[in-house]
Amino acid sequence: MITGEALNAQSSQLFFGIDNIRGMLVESVDEGGAAERAGILPGDVITMVEKTSVIDGQNIMMEVRNKKPSDSIDIQIYRDGQKFVLPTTLGFGQAIIIEP
């Protein structure tokens, strides 16, 4: 399970000092879960799932909901000023997103 907060201009400025980062700021990742195995860390920002930009909690959930456990997807993250693509095999679980 991942918990996180959707970033808007204000929260992006607060956390990163710039106002143009959009996505889901990862607050926690379950130990041993699919996100941890993929390399997603607390503090990362999930910016894309497959080819869909993460704008809010609704669109990230819609993209993942169309998949099943054991499907592979690409997740783009922002970490330390750089973007990375992490191939991820979905597991059983859920994501909790707090809207700003």
What is the per-residue pLDDT for 93?
Answer: 60
Residue partners of 31: CB distance under 8 A and separation at least 6: none
Say yes or no to pLDDT of 95 above 70. no
Whether residue 96 has pLDDT greater than 70:
no
The ranges assigned to domains in the chain are 2-98
For range 62-83, the mean pLDDT: 86
Average pLDDT over residues 61-71: 78
CA separation for the pair 20, 95 (Å, rounded): 23
Q: What's the mean per-residue pLDDT of the chain?
A: 84
In the prediction, which pLDDT does 41 show?
A: 95
Separation CA 43–CA 77 (nearest Å): 10
Domain 2-98 has CATH 2.40.50.100: no
Confidence of residue 45 (pLDDT cuts 50, 70, 90): very high
